[in-house]
Structure 1
Amino acid sequence: MNIRINIFPKCIRDAFVTGFLFVIMPVVYYFEMFVVLPKYYKQWSAWYNFHFVIGTTILFNICSNLIAIIMCDTSIKGRVLPTDLKPDWRFCSVCESVAPPRSWHCEVCKVCILKRDHHCMFTSCCIGFENHRYFLIFVFYMLIATLYASYYNMKFIKNFVTFDFSWTSIFKIVFPLATLFMEWTQNQLFIFLILIVFFGAGFSGALLYFHIDLMLRSVVTYERNTVSKYDKGKLENIKLVLGDKWYLVWLSPWIKSKLTCDGINWDKMLSLKEK
């Protein structure tokens, strides 16, 4: 894996969204582990410890895969590329280099990305050939975490958060962040965090469904309305993203899992498919 040298956000939007993610994750973790969970289980009891270990393991996988996404350089920088234009290759005038099929130039990252899927504002970098695996697993654990937390949060807000069915209360739920700045109370902070987790579950669920569908069809986002030339069947398509140890990579980002292509020579994949 090539390591990115400049990992800092390159635009204000990325800086805000990535910064918010890095702040909200530990805040939500503290809220769930030390505010919500003790309402159901005595702190440091057997059941509390059980859920605490599960929650911490999920957070570890979220954070470690997030760091792997950011640190992985999936651009054409430092790659040995030919000087002549092969079929489906192109010349990037900005990078002043030829670029292989399925790569595309990112206006934010200022470089061509191998098998570029999209630019992710939550990580301030592009999702491409080598960090696609970490992105999928990151979203997977975000969905698990938010669904897990939402189950307890729904009971928590019902039993322990004061709420009356008035227009003021409805406004606080519809605009939780704005209300939080106007009325900084513990009750409103709890509502804000619970809604963040709830909407996070919906967003990560839709995102995971969308990207798993793309992976199984062996297409990236800008190819989603086309039939892939690189479709070798669902299992091989999974290996192209998750590697040959696809059944183990969900455990840790440090598990080595060799990808079935180098992200450059897609013509070799086509010839193998023809055989």
Structure 2
Amino acid sequence: MDTTMSEGFIRRVRQFLPKSRGDKVAFAFLVVCIHLIFYFEQFRVLPEIYHQPCLASYLHTAFMVFVYINTVGNLFMMMNVDTTTGSHVLPSVLKPGWHFCASCEANSPPRSFHCWECSTCVLKRIHHCTFTGNCAAWANERYYMVFLLYMSVGAVYTNVMNFDYVWDVMGGLNMKSFLTMLAPLVMWLAGAAKAHTFFVSLMSMICLIGGAFSLILFYFHTKLTLMNRTVFEFNKRIGDYDLGWRQNLEQAFGTRWPWVWLFPLLPSPLPGNGLEFPVSSDVSEAVKDM
């Protein structure tokens, strides 16, 4: 009995873990960076700013833990939610707006596409995220967006916190510090930078590059969410599902959309079933009827 349960749990975990080698490497890099940055800020930078425990240091710690929990929690939830059409009973007759997927050998609903990385059709497929090894889609858009939100918040926060500390460690702005920030590994291997300086410059570079990447992604996907579009619909200029910003947010984040940023386990049921979606013409007709 225990063996059967263990095997079932392992199969479930493997189902949602990245499948391709590239996704596995990107996911491992992301997870390591998140934990390294948390360690760096909490146990290296913060003690240098506040040499003794005080109210400010406690508030910083509380904020960092809050951001960390929401980042990791939403990442886990995004990967653990079933985004595929497999859990739905699909009709054998091709309905209007549906299409046949030759790979899955099944009818696929509107806004759904086959993902070659996930090897399945995905409901309202927004795009495939290499760093999570999963598709951002109808069922997990909430978790993906809040994950990007806290990655962006954490990036801005860490870069502001790091500035004075990194400046002191690097010895101000000069050619050596510039080259160390640009290529920390090369400078360390060449003996031009100490191990501590290498680690600090590496963490600073990860925070800067990762922060810029997170902010760009968050801006772009916030734009998509407010327009209720997938990446495909954005590229093809399809705006049929734009219901207005408030309803678009509810479509993405659920009925409790103003509060989902607080905690990843907060229930927020999504309207609909992922197979059918209201279009803007339906909203216009409803307003006319009123």
TM-score range, shorter chain: over 0.9
| CA apart distance, 1:88 | 1.4
1:1-275 correspondence runs (5 A) = 6-162=15-171, 165-166=174-175, 168-179=176-187, 185-225=195-235, 226-266=237-277, 271=282, 274-275=285-286
Alignment check: 8 A CA contact 2:242 2:280 kept:
no
2: CA distance, partners of 1:256 / 1:142: 22
In structure 2, the CA distance between the partners of 1:154 and 1:140, relative to structure 1 (3 Å rule), is same
Q: Is the 8 A contact 2:240 2:279 kept in 1?
A: no
- Please give the TM-score of this superposition, normalised by the length of structure 2: 0.88
Write the distance in 2 (CA, Å) between the matches of 1:214 and 1:73.
Answer: 21
Mapped to 2, the partners of 1:222 and 1:139 lie a distance apart of 20
SS of the equivalent of 2:16 reads coil
SS, match of residue 224 in structure 1: helix
Q: Number of matched residues?
A: 272
1:197 CA displacement? 0.7
Deviations 1:174-206 (A, max 9, x none): 223454566561101101101111122211111
**Are 1:4 and 1:70, in contact at CA under 8 Å, matched by a contact in 2?**
no
Unaligned runs of 5+ in 1: none
Q: Which runs of 5+ in 2 are unaligned?
A: 1-11
RMSD: 2.0
More helix by share: 2
Whether contact under 8 Å (1:216, 1:234) holds in the other structure is: yes
Name the CA distance, whole Å, in 1 between partners of 2:141 and 2:174. 45
Preserved CA contact (<8 Å) 1:261 1:269: no
Report how far residue 161 of structure 1 moved.
3.0
Distance change (3 Å), C-alpha of 1:106 and 1:227 = closer
Q: Percent identity at matched positions? A: 32
Q: What whole-Å deviation, never above 9, does each CA across 1:15-68 have from its counterpart, x for those lacking one?
A: 111001111111111110111111111343222111111101110000000000
Partners of 2:240 and 2:280 within 8 A in 1: no
Q: TM-score, normalised by structure 1?
A: 0.92
Cα distance per residue 1:89-126 (max 9 Å; x no partner):
01111111100000000001000000001111111111
TM superposition shift of 1:218: 1.1
- Paired with 2:13 and 2:230, the residues of 1 have a C-alpha distance of 22
